[in-house]
Structure 1
Amino acid sequence: MKRNWIIMGVVLLLAGLAVFQTISARNEKTALPAGVGPQPGLEAPLLELPGLDGLTYKVGGKRDKPLLLNYWASWCVPCREEAPDLTRLYEQYKDRFDIYAVNVTVQDEVTAAMEMVKEFDFKFPVLFDYQGRSMDIYSYKAIPTSFLIDKEGKIVEIMHVVEPKHLEQRILELSM
């Protein structure tokens, strides 16, 4: 009788180990390697940040329009160079395309960021990342970095400096 209990315990232990290995193998296939952020073809990670207008903005999941999630700081020279193009493209395509300009506030000053918003007349939502959460979630290494996200919530492309003609072409492709 005691022998049957031992055999039964070993069988249950082996079955539990098999289930654990199967679940671990599944998670390894869907998880990104350490230090690697979101990539084209993958769903945009969930993100929720406060906007300058007092609203809370969410990223992740299906959307009505494609989205350019643009990370910037007021001291960043390439960010300042691409700002007029982002403003122009948004004004031209705002009915087909969204921009969320995420200020990397943890590395910037709110007053300087607000001055830049005013200087370039940003009409799109400006979000503030006070704690650097988006840096952890999106794993970008430099700014400017923009994530182009389609209506299905998948990352289509990652850009480090927005090239206006290329972005305009992508907006037209994605908003059809």
Structure 2
Amino acid sequence: MKRNLYILLGVIVLIGIAVYQNAGPGIQAAFRHEEPMPTETGPKAGLLAPAFTAQGLDGKEYQVGGAQDKAILLNFWASWCDPCQQEAPELNAIAEKYKDSLDVYGVNVTKYDNKKNAQTFVDKYKVKFPVMLDLKADIYEKQYKGVVFPTNVLIDKRGVVQEVVLGILSQKDLEKKVKHLIKS
């Protein structure tokens, strides 16, 4: 009798494991501990990314902030910035390679540049991702507390800043951070 009870318990455990593994994210989510969403906004890892809307060089409006379908790499730059020029081809490659899971947005801090030079930069480096204009540097200075060009802000799908990268990284290092961002 005891043997039958052990066999029955074993079968129930195996069925439970099979149901859990094949039931999809709904049941599995019930057993997962989710990180609570931050309530504070700011340009630091672990905080909600400051929300903004800005017009792009293409005339379209772009919006950053809150939950998105894809992770975001937000790149603040100026056309006269040598590291920004070095980084442009790398950002193009990353934007193309990860287009299904990452939105790359350039933000030209036009207060320290001008629209004509920004357009020349975009044309010269054949920038493949949207470029917004921060005409008065409100986004860069007030919301994201920018201090150096380039500044890359990595934002996950939930709208949470994962990392702020000041200055230029090698393509390999930046891509490593992007891969981690997409998985988060």
Q: When the two structures are superposed, what TM-score results if normalisation uses the length of structure 2?
A: 0.73
Query: Paired residue for 2:158, among 148, 152, 156?
Result: 152
**Aligned position for 1:173:** 180
Structure 1 residues 1-176: aligned runs within 5 Å: 38-134=43-139, 135-160=141-166, 161-176=168-183
* Equivalent position SS for 1:112: helix
* Equivalent position SS for 2:62: strand
The aligned amino acid for 1:69 is L
Deviations 1:50-81 (A, max 9, x none): 01121111111001111111000000111111
Please provide the CA RMSD for this pair: 1.6
* Equivalent position SS for 2:116: helix
Q: In the TM superposition, what is the alpha-carbon distance from 1:48 to its structure 2 partner?
A: 1.1
* Equivalent position SS for 1:174: helix
Q: Percent identity?
A: 43
Q: In the TM superposition, what is the alpha-carbon distance from 1:31 to its structure 2 partner?
A: 6.5
* Equivalent position SS for 1:81: helix
Q: Please tell me whether the aligned partners of residues 146 and 162 of structure 1 are also in contact (alpha carbons under 8 angstroms).
A: no
Q: Which structure has more RCO (C-alpha within 8 Å, separation ≥ 6)? A: 1
Q: Please tell me whether the aligned partners of residues 49 and 161 of structure 2 are also in contact (alpha carbons under 8 angstroms).
A: yes
Stretches of structure 1 lacking an aligned partner (at least 5 in a row) = 1-29
Q: Please tell me whether the aligned partners of residues 74 and 116 of structure 1 are also in contact (alpha carbons under 8 angstroms).
A: yes
Stretches of structure 2 lacking an aligned partner (at least 5 in a row) = 1-38
* Equivalent position SS for 1:94: coil
Q: Please tell me whether the aligned partners of residues 154 and 181 of structure 2 are also in contact (alpha carbons under 8 angstroms).
A: no
Count of residues in Structure 1 that have an aligned counterpart in Structure 2: 143
Q: In the TM superposition, what is the alpha-carbon distance from 1:167 to its structure 2 partner?
A: 2.2
Q: In the TM superposition, what is the alpha-carbon distance from 1:170 to its structure 2 partner?
A: 2.5
Q: When the two structures are superposed, what TM-score results if normalisation uses the length of structure 1?
A: 0.76
